[in-house]
Amino acid sequence: MSNQLVNLDGVALLGIDVGYSRMRPTTGIAWSNCGEFGAAKTHSNWERRRHHIPTSTTFSVIAIDGPLVPLGSDDGMDRLCERLFIRGAFQTRCKPGLSNHGYGKNLRRAASDTADQVLHLGDPNAKIERAIRAGTSIVEAFPNAFLGVLLPEARFAMTAAAKRKKFDWLYDHAIDTGVLANVFQAIGWHKVNLIDAVLTESDHEKRAAWICLVTAACAAAGRSEVVGDNVGGWFWLPPADLWAQWARQALEKNRLALA
């Protein structure tokens, strides 16, 4: 995509928070197209998911929250993008789970299945460099880190959330500090009704889906910070100039340590 800001109201975008429970609705889906938008919570099978995605729409960017690796990768492959965010300051603030063992392997497979489900929805003319599938516009969202790197360090000195509630803690503080609203400003997305929907959302899965959608918007606007490598895939994160100083320093320190 071009580095020049685009009119995001005219770009079709899709965000999916994977979830993979067979019984509970743990998938979040959010979309935006020509000024219209929506979010829903649903199940992992395509028959249910597809009812929450506008028909006859091809999306310029599809952002999926789940570990996405190149086709043919071994289940036990270590990922640089994950290693960069489990060390140092990130460890207690917005680290990922490792996807090469235990629960992480299940999530990796679920993310791959999700990418397969929506592959046909990508706009064939909107190919993105470093997309996880060559010749597509599918990228990996990481909502915890997307929000975490934006927050000032002082916020993390406050009472921390329990691990299972970490994302909602980050979301609440990103709204309270205004850093999430800053992302919309930075990428030139001024759809007031959509911004209000994101900033007032309370459902966990829909919140995750909204951040996936904002991740897709950053990519479409050419304003993402992309972290990882071709072997293990990439995290697509908010513009680097919006990152808190501690986050920029932590990433650089971890890059040097892993070099």
- Domain enclosing residue 99, as ranges: 8-258
Q: Are 15 and 213 in contact (CB under 8 A)?
A: yes
- Residue 3's pLDDT is 44
Residue 154 within any structural domain of the chain: yes
Task: Judge whether 168 lies within some domain.
Answer: yes
Is residue 36 in some structural domain?
A: yes
* pLDDT tens-digit readout, 18-69: 987 778 999 999 999 998 999 999 999 999 999 999 998 999 999 999 999 9
Residue 185 structure tokens:
């400003």
* pLDDT of res. 1: 41
- What span, in angstroms and rounded, lies between the C-alpha atoms of 39 and 203? 10
Residue 20 domain flag: yes
The verdict on residue 3 lying in a domain is: no
| Mean confidence (pLDDT) of the chain | 93
246 pLDDT more than 50: yes
244 burial via Cβ count (<10 Å: 0-12, 13-18, 19+): buried
Instruction: Quick: pLDDT tens for 208-236.
Output: 999 999 999 999 999 999 999 999 999 99
181-212 per-position pLDDT tens digit = 999 999 999 999 999 999 999 999 999 999 99
d(CA 224, CA 82): 17
CA distances from 24 to 124, 168, 200 (A): 33, 19, 24
Mean pLDDT of 250-255: 98
Predicted local confidence at residue 226, as pLDDT: 98
pLDDT for res 220: 96
Question: Considering the domain boundaries, does residue 2 fall inside one?
Answer: no
pLDDT over 80 at 257, yes or no: yes
Q: What is the pTM of this model?
A: 0.95
- Name the domain count of the chain: 1
Q: With bands split at pLDDT 50, 70 and 90, how would you rate the model's confidence at 157?
A: confident
Task: Classify residue 25: in a domain, yes or no.
Answer: yes
Contact between 257 and 80 (Cβ < 8 Å): no
d(CA 84, CA 235): 10
Q: Confirm if 235 and 85 have CB atoms less than 8 A apart.
A: yes
In a domain, 1, yes or no: no
